[in-house]
Amino acid sequence: MHSTVDSFRTPGGVTLGVEHFGEAAAPLVLLVGGTTMLSWPDALCEAVARGGRHVVRYDLRDSGASTAVDPGAPAYTLRDLAADAAALARGLDDRPAHLAGIGVGGMVAQVAALDHPEAFSALTLVGTRPVAPGPVDDDLPDHDAAVMKRRFALPMPDWSDRDAVAEYAAAGAEILGNDPAAARATAERIFDRTPGTEPVVQMANQIGMVFAKLDCTPRWRERLPELALPTLVVHGRRDPFFPVGNGEALAREIPGARLLVLDDASTAIPAAAADEVAGAMLAL
C-alpha cells in the first residue's frame, strides 16, 4: 500500500515526522510509536488502512524525523508528549481519533486520553504498563532480570556504522524473543531516515534510555477508571520487558477494556499477528 511521509508542526512549535496510510477523509487512527514511528509494523498500518481508516504513525520528539534538541536531557515532560498527540489528532481531523500507543508510546497514549478526552474516540494500548519507567507497584511484574542482564550486557556498537548498529539491534531482539531479521531491517531504516541526527539517539530511544529521563509526574494509574472510551489492550505473553501482568492490570482498571494476549509475541507485534491486531482495533 502506498504511504506518504510529511511533517506536522504543533501550536507549541514542535515538528513531528508523520507517515500516512489510507484515505485522508477516512476516520483517523493515530499511532504513537515506542519513540520512532517504526515501532508500528508496516503490515499492521496497511491492514488498518484497508479497513477504511486514515492511519498515521509518527515519531516522538528526539527521534526519527521529529524535533531533536538535547535527548540526553529532555526539557519536556510526558504530559508534553501527550499534548503533542492531542494537537496532531486535532490538526489532522475534526473528529475524535482512535489513539494507539506501543511500549513507552502506550504511556503517552494513556496520559493523552486522560488529559485530552475530547480528542479521542477509542484507545489501543500495546505492550505497555500503567506506571512510569522506574520502580513499579508491588502488584505489577517487573522486567525479567535475567533477560535484561543479557540484553544490557551486549557491547555497544560503533553508532556511526550502519551494519554494526543493525547487528546490535538484531542481537537484542533475539534476547527479548523478537524476530532478529525484522529488528535488523527496522534498525537499518531508522539509521537511514534520520539525516543530521546522531544514530545513537535513535537506538537509545528504541530501548527507552532517553524516555527514562523524562519527568513522568504526576502518576496516572489511579486515573485510569476515568477513561470512558472503548479500549483494547494487546500484550505479548512472552514479553520480558513489560511482562503480561502489566497488560492484565491495564485491562482490569480501564472500564470495559478488552484484553488480547498474543501467545507467540514478545515486545514487538509479529508480522503473523498484524491482521489479528488490526481486526481487533477496527472492531472498537
State the pLDDT at residue 198.
54
Q: 206 falls in which pLDDT band (50, 70, 90)?
A: very low
Closest among 172, 155, 14 to 82, alpha carbons compared? 14
Instruction: Considering only residues 161 and 147, tell me which one the structure prediction assigns the higher pLDDT.
Output: 147
Strand, coil or helix: what is 173? helix
Q: What percent of the chain is modeled with pLDDT above 70? A: 94
Distance CA 76, CA 111 (A): 14
DSSP lists the bridge partners of residue 261 as 235
Q: Are 260 and 44 in contact (CB under 8 A)?
A: no
Q: Are 60 and 81 in contact (CB under 8 A)?
A: yes
Instruction: Considering only residues 279 and 160, tell me which one the structure prediction assigns the higher pLDDT.
Output: 279
The torsion region of residue 180 among left (phi > 0), alpha (psi -120 to 50) and beta comes to alpha
Asked if residue 104 has pLDDT above 60, the reply is: yes
Asked if residue 201 has pLDDT above 70, the reply is: no
Residue 224 backbone dihedrals phi, psi, to 5 degrees: -55, -35
Which one of 16-30, 60-74, 180-194 scores highest in mean pLDDT? 16-30
Q: What are the cell numbers at 153?
A: 550486557
Asked if residue 170 has pLDDT above 90, the reply is: yes
Domains parsed from the chain with CATH numbers: 3-136+195-282 (3.40.50.1820)
Asked if residue 219 has pLDDT above 50, the reply is: yes
CA 26 to chain CA mean position, Å:
22
Q: 207 falls in which pLDDT band (50, 70, 90)?
A: very low
> What does each C-alpha distance from 32 to 104, 106, 163, 189, 212 come to in angstroms?
9, 7, 27, 18, 17
In the block, which residue shows the cell 489532522?
92
Asked if residue 87 has pLDDT above 70, the reply is: yes
Q: 143 falls in which pLDDT band (50, 70, 90)?
A: very high
DSSP character string of 19-64:
EEES-TTSPEEEEE-BSBGGGS-HHHHHHHHHTT-EEEEEPPTTST
Strand, coil or helix: what is 24? coil
State the pLDDT at residue 205.
47
pTM of the model: 0.95
Q: Are 251 and 162 in contact (CB under 8 A)?
A: no
Distance CA 176, CA 266 (A): 7
Distance CA 216, CA 212 (A): 9
State the pLDDT at residue 70.
73
Which one of 2-6, 65-69, 124-128 scores highest in mean pLDDT? 124-128
Asked if residue 202 has pLDDT above 60, the reply is: no
State the pLDDT at residue 196.
55
Average pLDDT value for the chain: 92
State the pLDDT at residue 97.
98
**Burial class for 208, CB neighbours closer than 10 Å (0-12, 13-18, 19+):** middle
DSSP lists the bridge partners of residue 28 as 54
Average pLDDT over residues 4-23: 95
Average pLDDT over residues 277-283: 98
70-79, 208-217, 224-233, 241-250: which has the minimum mean pLDDT?
Answer: 208-217
Q: What is the largest CA-CA distance in the chain?
A: 48
